[in-house]
């Protein structure tokens, strides 16, 4: 018999039960507490990716603080021999998706009961400032007792973090995506309620509200298409239940349920009405059909009208002589008929005006302008190109928006224009030079870019752990946002990291012994000491690997790069001084503008920019940047000036200046 793998001498892996894009799920056994457990293990291709590992651990942190009968409980997390795992409650059952695919639409009461349980679970998450961001039927388990449990908080974000943040490539399934997520806007608890509305629609109809041949097309329909009615697929669904779905699926969050309590209240009201109808025997199979009124009353009404007509049409046996003047009562029907026809005429005009207005609106353009606000230039260009549109750029200072990101657009989102129309994009240049940008809640890479754009620089980076705040986000800064500062001023920041991490300090100018002592005090150790020709004093530190300000785990090894002095220049015979037009003049230092836009798509990339001339080289930037982000800096270099751009350790461009 093959020996089973045991993690940390406690969790025995029995067999595989499922998997997703990031991890595989196994049935396991806790040999200490003697109970079955579920074990989620990060896939091998991601174990070297710090972003994925951090996100995987964040899943455990997000869900571990939640305890609810409709949430899969998290027991433990850890790592062993490059195996990163989360231990959770073992749920025997099927996913809601599997239940629907195998059995078809659920009866109304069961669907509403499941939705009520999940809404209650989401309320607890939202009360802890956690948005799930990936509510879908595949992430809802139905156990053997018929209890719905939600799992997989792996991409949950703190309130307000935009979908185009560092982990934008891990978004909820597009079929359940809220319009604001599809548009790259900030997620809120209402985003989860929209996704739960999609799940309720699916449970009742066996269909999804929006389909498409590509994920982009489905996302676009979430943004643009009219909200479908569940009664289109099942006319027996009660109107009051269909209204709950319609409200949950409102594209404008202001028209959607404001909070979990409002959604829960309506779901509970639906449950009560379904129970009353079931007890009364009205359509017990579906608990939603209403019988028509008795036809007897209609028949009585018809007979009554016939008798009235007969009485009017039958001639009187002894007709009275015609009156000399028209009777007053006949004027009232005449005026009534006049008003009636006037109302019909006015109504017809209004309807005709509406039709003309709609035709005019649609004939003015055949392309719906997509929303690219908050997107990088690269992303915006790709989105507009798919819509057969062009664009022009205008740069503006904006201390709140990362450089290279679209602030606004003209025409605005959802306007209709002709194919090939140029959309005016207003792109952020960061903060105005000398004005301190707001770095709070920004990543360290984005904070560095904002400071560079403002002609300021990053100062001392300290670390602190704060629960509920995104890892790597700036918690505080030494200078108040919006205040004035001289160019080159350093701004110190405090960054949120996990308890087992720290930031590589800046050691430039230190002696090796002092640098070693500094690293040791921070829980780091010195590895190799490499020498390099440099203008700095011989024996002093000129750099590190990893670079300064990079977040690493405590206990990591840091390589020191030390100056071995400038190489002695070959002695040359003395010559007459060159004139201002000769070689000496051409070798004088010059100021160059270095611009670089990070290529590619997906998640953040490690970028390193090195400037060199005939005598020296120095790192202009080293850190994490999102694809489409723009780097801009003035640099003074001597003869043979060049700049090298590295992305994820690979040289992508060697540019002569």
Residue 652 contacts by C-beta under 8 Å, 6 or more apart in sequence? 599, 645, 646
pLDDT at 276: 87
Q: What integer is the mean pLDDT of 281-297? A: 45
pLDDT at 112: 96
Peptide bond into 354 cis (omega under 30): no
Instruction: Give residue-wise pLDDT tens across range 593-605.
Output: 888 888 877 778 8
Asked if pLDDT for residue 152 goes beyond 90, the answer is no
Alpha-helical segments (H) within 65-135: 96-103, 108-127
pLDDT at 345: 64
pLDDT at 207: 93
Asked if pLDDT for residue 249 goes beyond 80, the answer is yes
Asked if pLDDT for residue 118 goes beyond 80, the answer is yes
DSSP codes, 24-54: EEEEEEETTTTEEEEEEEE-GGGTT-HHHHH
Phi, psi torsion values for 350, nearest 5 degrees: -65, -45
pLDDT at 508: 87
pLDDT at 59: 66
Beta bridge partners of 193: none
pLDDT at 266: 94
More confident residue, 362 or 28: 28
More confident residue, 187 or 410: 410
DSSP codes, 568-584: PPPP----PPP-TTSHH
Percent of the chain with pLDDT over 90: 20
Annotated catalytic residue, options 134, 167, 242, 613 = 134
Percent of the chain with pLDDT over 70: 77
- Minimum mean pLDDT among 50-59, 581-590, 623-632, 644-653: which range? 581-590
More confident residue, 349 or 290: 349
More confident residue, 27 or 616: 27
Asked if pLDDT for residue 423 goes beyond 70, the answer is yes
Specify which of 272-276, 364-368, 528-532 reaches the highest per-range mean pLDDT.
272-276
Return the structure tokens found at 512: 């090796």
Asked if pLDDT for residue 470 goes beyond 70, the answer is yes
Q: Which of 517, 519, 528, 531 is nearest to 562 (CA)?
A: 531
Q: What integer is the mean pLDDT of 413-418? A: 88
More confident residue, 419 or 349: 419
Residue 553 is inside which H or E element, if any?
A: strand 551-553
- What is the value of pTM for the model shown? 0.45
Residue 358 is inside which H or E element, if any?
A: helix 331-363
Confidence of residue 120 (pLDDT cuts 50, 70, 90): very high
End-to-end CA distance of the chain, in Å?
A: 67
β-pair type (541-545, 557-563):
antiparallel
Q: What integer is the mean pLDDT of 28-45? A: 88
Residue 402 contacts by C-beta under 8 Å, 6 or more apart in sequence? 428, 430, 442, 446, 449, 450, 626, 629
Instruction: Give residue-wise pLDDT tens across range 608-629.
Output: 887 877 666 677 887 788 888 8
Longest CA span, the chain:
146
pLDDT at 575: 45
pLDDT at 343: 63
Confidence of residue 155 (pLDDT cuts 50, 70, 90): low
More confident residue, 210 or 623: 210
- Minimum mean pLDDT among 299-308, 331-340, 374-383, 582-591: which range? 299-308
- Minimum mean pLDDT among 76-80, 103-107, 287-291, 517-521: which range? 287-291
Asked if pLDDT for residue 243 goes beyond 80, the answer is yes
Beta bridge partners of 406: 427
Specify which of 5-19, 46-60, 151-165, 170-184 reaches the highest per-range mean pLDDT.
5-19
Q: Whole-angstrom Cα distance, residue 545 to residue 517?
A: 17
Q: Whole-angstrom Cα distance, residue 537 to residue 514?
A: 15
pLDDT at 399: 72
More confident residue, 229 or 314: 229
pLDDT at 57: 74
Active site residue 134: yes
Instruction: Give residue-wise pLDDT tens across range 162-198.
Output: 444 434 333 447 899 898 887 777 788 999 999 999 9
pLDDT at 287: 55
pLDDT at 302: 33
Specify which of 233-247, 397-411, 569-583 reaches the highest per-range mean pLDDT.
233-247
Q: What integer is the mean pLDDT of 317-336? A: 46
Asked if pLDDT for residue 115 goes beyond 60, the answer is yes
Q: How many CB atoms lie within 10 A of CB 540?
A: 17
């Amino acid at each position: 018999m093959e020996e089973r793998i045991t993690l940390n001498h406690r969790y025995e892996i029995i067999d595989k039960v499922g998997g997703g894009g990031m991890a595989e799920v196994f049935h396991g056994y806790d040999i200490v507490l003697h109970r079955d457990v579920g074990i989620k293990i990060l896939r091998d291709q991601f174990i070297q990716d710090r972003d994925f590992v951090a996100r995987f651990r964040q899943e455990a942190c997000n869900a571990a603080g939640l305890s609810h009968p409709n949430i899969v409980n998290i027991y433990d997390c850890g790592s062993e021999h490059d195996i990163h795992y989360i231990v959770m409650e073992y749920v025997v059952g099927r996913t809601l998706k599997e239940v629907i695919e195998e059995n078809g639409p659920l009866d109304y009461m069961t669907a509403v009961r499941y939705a009520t349980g999940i809404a209650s679970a989401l309320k607890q998450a939202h009360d802890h400032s956690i948005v799930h961001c990936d509510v879908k039927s595949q992430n809802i388990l139905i156990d053997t007792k018929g209890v719905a449990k939600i799992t997989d908080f792996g991409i949950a974000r703190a309130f307000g973090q935009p979908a185009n943040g560092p982990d934008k490539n891990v978004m909820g399934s597009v079929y359940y995506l809220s319009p604001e997520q599809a548009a790259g806007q900030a997620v809120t608890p209402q985003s989860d309620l929209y996704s739960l509305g999609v799940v309720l629609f699916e449970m009742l109809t066996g269909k999804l509200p929006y389909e498409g041949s590509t994920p982009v097309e489905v996302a676009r329909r979430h943004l643009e298409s009219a909200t479908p009615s569940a009664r289109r697929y099942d006319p027996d669904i009660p109107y009051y239940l269909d209204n709950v779905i319609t409200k949950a699926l409102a594209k404008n969050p202001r028209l959607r349920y404001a909070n979990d309590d409002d959604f829960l209240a309506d779901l509970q009201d639906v449950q009560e009405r379904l129970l009353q109808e079931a007890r009364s025997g009205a359509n017990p199979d579906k608990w939603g059909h209403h019988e028509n009124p008795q036809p007897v009353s209609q028949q009585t009404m018809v007979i009554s009208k016939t008798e009235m007509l007969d009485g009017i049409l039958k001639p009187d046996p002894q007709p009275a002589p015609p009156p000399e003047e028209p009777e007053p009562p006949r004027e009232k029907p005449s005026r009534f008929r006049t008003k009636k026809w006037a109302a019909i005429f006015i109504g017809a005009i209004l309807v005709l005006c509406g039709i003309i207005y709609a035709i005019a609106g649609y004939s003015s353009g055949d392309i719906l302008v997509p929303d690219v606000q908050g997107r990088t230039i690269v992303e915006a260009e790709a989105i507009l190109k798919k819509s057969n549109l062009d664009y022009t750029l205008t740069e503006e200072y904006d201390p709140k928006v990362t450089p290279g990101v679209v602030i606004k657009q003209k025409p605005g989102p959802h306007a209709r224009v002709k194919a090939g129309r140029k959309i005016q994009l207003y792109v952020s240049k960061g903060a105005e030079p000398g004005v301190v940008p707001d770095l709070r809640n920004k990543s360290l890479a984005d904070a560095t870019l904002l400071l560079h754009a403002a002609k300021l620089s990053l100062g001392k980076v300290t670390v602190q752990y704060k629960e509920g705040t995104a890892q790597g986000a700036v918690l505080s800064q030494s200078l108040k946002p919006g205040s004035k500062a001289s160019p080159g001023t350093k701004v110190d920041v405090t960054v949120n990291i996990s308890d087992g991490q720290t930031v590589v300090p800046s050691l430039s100018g230190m002696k090796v012994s002092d640098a070693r002592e500094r690293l040791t005090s921070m829980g780091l150790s010195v590895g190799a000491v490499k020498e390099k020709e440099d203008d700095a004093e011989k024996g002093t530190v000129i750099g590190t690997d990893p670079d300064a300000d990079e977040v690493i785990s405590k206990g990591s090894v840091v390589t020191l790069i030390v100056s071995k002095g400038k190489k002695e220049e070959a002695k040359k015979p003395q010559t007459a001084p060159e004139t201002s037009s000769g070689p000496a003049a051409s070798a004088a230092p010059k100021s160059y503008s270095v611009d670089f836009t990070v290529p590619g798509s997906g998640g953040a990339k490690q970028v390193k920019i090195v400037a060199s001339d005939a005598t020296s080289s120095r790192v202009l930037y080293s850190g994490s940047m999102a694809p489409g982000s723009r780097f801009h800096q003035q640099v003074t270099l001597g003869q043979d000036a060049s700049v090298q751009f590295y992305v994820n350790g690979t040289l992508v461009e060697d540019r002569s200046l």
